[in-house]
């Protein structure tokens, strides 16, 4: 009788222990750690009828449907024209807004920018937001903001850029144009078409020919006016290109040696360098042919000391067997301290 009771107690104890172990196992398996979970109603937004030169604004709702705080660790714009603002943390069950603004250019007609978002969501640690816009430009430029013209013999190259402002805005070009390089520019209102301005740009290539670029900067009477940039490039099919066109040795301190290089090449003619001379004996010169399918030379210019303090300027002369460019002058400059 006693032995039967002990057996029943033993069976009951083992049964209760088994139930407790199963319950503990279920609790252990089901107790996942709390995690954030990001959801977004939209990942792309489009703004229309934006005035060129103004800012376009965007706002994206971000929800945290997880059980732990959602941390937004970074929002990186794809362009320097875009600025973003965002909450650093969104509580479980909460929501926040990632906002952004895009600074448009006056001549834009449309754009697409992106925001790269990083979070602590283990399922969706990174995602992109798309910012699209349709812009009404303040002006249009024809045929383009940048033109290239080929030439055989060094002679002035003249092109006309037409800038048409949006009607009713009373915009115009003001002040003399700013130019760089061997470039001249003239601005004239069109006598027949309102809001249309013609910009005549003349680029004068050097006697030796080569590829050369001139830049023009224009201003308007618009508030907070942004410069309008035009560019004209002359490409010589026979001449020689020198890049850079000037050797800048920079600031030289006592005991400092320096070496710069300049490229002399032609994509349209075969030529050879017959000699290179400097007007100053303190400079060393070395000509290195570059093996390409067209004529290309690298000229190394070295300085190892000997100049007195002050500004030093001079010319390095390159002599070639090309009839269109028998002699090429390359200026140099240095400031010895």
Tell me what the pLDDT averaged over the chain comes to. 88
pLDDT tens figures, 244-291: 889 999 888 887 889 999 999 887 778 999 999 999 999 999 999 987
pLDDT band at 91 (very low <50, low <70, confident <90, very high): very high
Q: Supply the pLDDT for residue 114.
A: 96
pLDDT of 213 above 80: yes
- Rounded Cα distance between 228 and 218, Å, is 5
Q: Supply the pLDDT for residue 10.
A: 53
Question: What number of other Cβ atoms are within 10 A of residue 314's Cβ?
Answer: 15
pLDDT band at 19 (very low <50, low <70, confident <90, very high): very low
**pTM value surpassing 0.85:** no
- Rounded Cα distance between 108 and 106, Å, is 6
pLDDT of 17 above 50: no
pLDDT band at 241 (very low <50, low <70, confident <90, very high): confident
Angle ∠(155,247,212) on CA atoms, nearest 5: 25
| DSSP summary character for residue 282 | T
Q: Supply the pLDDT for residue 3.
A: 44
Average pLDDT over residues 10-30: 48
Residue 202 contacts residue 157 (beta carbons within 8 Å) = yes
Q: Which domains does the chain have, with CATH numbers?
A: 38-136 (2.60.40.10), 139-236 (2.60.40.10), 241-336 (2.60.40.10)
Q: Supply the pLDDT for residue 269.
A: 77
- Give the CA diameter of the chain: 129
Percent of the chain whose predicted confidence (pLDDT) is above 90: 65
């Amino acid at each position: 009788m006693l032995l039967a009771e002990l057996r029943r107690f033993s069976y009951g104890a083992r049964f209760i222990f088994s139930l407790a172990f199963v319950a503990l196992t279920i609790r252990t398996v089901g107790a996942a750690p709390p995690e954030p979970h990001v959801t977004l109603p939209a990942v792309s937004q489009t703004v229309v009828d934006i005035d060129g030169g103004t800012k376009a604004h965007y706002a994206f709702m971000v929800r945290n449907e997880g059980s732990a705080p959602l941390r937004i660790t970074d929002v990186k714009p794809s362009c320097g024209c875009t600025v973003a603002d965002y909450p650093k943390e969104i509580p479980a069950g909460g929501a926040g807004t990632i906002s952004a603004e895009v600074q448009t250019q006056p001549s834009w007609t449309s754009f697409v920018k992106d925001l790269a978002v990083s979070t602590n969501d283990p399922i969706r640690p990174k995602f992109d937001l798309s910012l699209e816009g349709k812009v009404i430009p303040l002006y249009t430029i024809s045929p383009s903001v940048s033109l290239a013209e080929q030439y055989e013999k060094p002679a002035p190259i003249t092109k006309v850029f037409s800038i048409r402002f949006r009607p009713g805005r009373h915009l115009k070009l003001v002040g003399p144009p700013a130019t760089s390089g061997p470039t001249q520019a003239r601005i004239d209102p069109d006598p027949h078409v309102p809001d249309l301005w013609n910009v005549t740009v003349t680029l004068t290539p050097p006697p030796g020919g080569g590829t050369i670029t001139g830049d023009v900067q224009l201003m308007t009477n618009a508030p907070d006016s942004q410069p309008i940039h035009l560019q004209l490039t002359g490409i010589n099919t026979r001449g020689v290109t020198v890049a850079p066109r000037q050797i800048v040795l920079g600031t030289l301190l006592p005991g400092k040696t320096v070496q710069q290089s300049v490229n002399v090449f032609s994509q349209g003619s075969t030529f050879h360098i017959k000699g290179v001379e400097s007007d100053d004996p303190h400079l060393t010169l070395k000509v290195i042919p570059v093996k390409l399918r067209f004529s290309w030379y690298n000229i190394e210019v070295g300085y190892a000391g000997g100049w007195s303090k002050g500004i030093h300027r001079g010319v390095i002369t390159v002599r070639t067997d090309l009839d269109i460019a028998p002699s090429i002058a390359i200026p140099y400059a240095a400031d010895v301290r």
